[in-house]
Amino acid sequence: MGQKNQNQRNAELTVDQIADYLQVTPRTVLNYIQAKEMEAVKVGRHWFVKLASFHGFLQRHRFSVDASQAHQLSLEEFNANKKEHEIELTSTSVKKNLSLQQLRVFEKATKHLLSLNWPKDQMPEFQKRFLRLKGETIEFLGRGFYCYQIQRKRSLYDRSREKLGSLLALIYFFLSEHPIKKQAEHMEQELMPLFSSLLRKMERLEQK
């Protein structure tokens, strides 16, 4: 139980999760971050807020929401009620072009992730969470690569990107002085633009 509570205190939340929880706009949450009301790190184009900092924010401003429920927020729950429509790729040329870009993302992300390891001499209590996020990033990446429905495929790649963001945020929060931070920054600079480009292309295909 103690370990579970520790993991919950050290979780990260996305801007959309917090906005959904507080019933405000994402812009409002970003304003809180810029005003230093919440401790956050930016990974790619996305911000991640430390859960303990969010709890403190709720207590300071006495929001009507129950702060004790905040630990129940997760990336999975945020997307749980989104209705998915399966749209099949029909154009051979589009499939080929998209497959090449997917392959590039898959190969680069897998290579980076397999070489990224939590240092054994640094805060071992976070290693389990690190390994879980690393495994989930690869899992959603692989499921997206082999999925044939474009909307489902985009959802899986987006989940993989979010897990990668949480993984890098964990390093930025707790290993900011360790050499692994440089490796994480290199991953962010190389992988996040690739994910964003691929997801934008998939979104355009959905709209056709």
More confident site: 8 or 58: 58
**CA dihedral for 126, 130, 136, 137, sign (positive or negative):** positive
Q: Is the pLDDT of residue 101 over 70?
A: yes
- Categorise residue 62: left if φ over 0, alpha if ψ from -120 to 50, beta otherwise: left
Q: For 111-149, how does the pLDDT look when each residue is reduced to its tens digit (9 = 90+)?
A: 999 999 999 888 888 988 999 999 999 999 988 888 878
Instruction: Give mean pLDDT, residues 48-67.
Output: 74
pLDDT at 63: 59
Structure token digits, residue 80? 């749980």
CB 39 within 8 Å of CB 57: no
pLDDT at 67: 38
Instruction: Give mean pLDDT, residues 50-75.
Output: 63
Beta bridge partners of 43: 46
Per-residue 3-state assignment (H helix, E strand, C coil) for 86-127: CCECCCHHHHHHHHHHHHHHHHHHHHHHHHCCCCCCCCHHHH
CB 40 within 8 Å of CB 56: no
List of domains in the chain: 2-79 (no CATH), 92-207 (1.20.1440)
Q: Is the pLDDT of residue 79 over 50?
A: no
Instruction: Kindly report whether the global pTM for this prediction surpasses the value 0.75.
Output: no
pLDDT at 25: 85
Share of the chain above pLDDT 90, in %: 39
**CA dihedral for 57, 62, 65, 67, sign (positive or negative):** positive
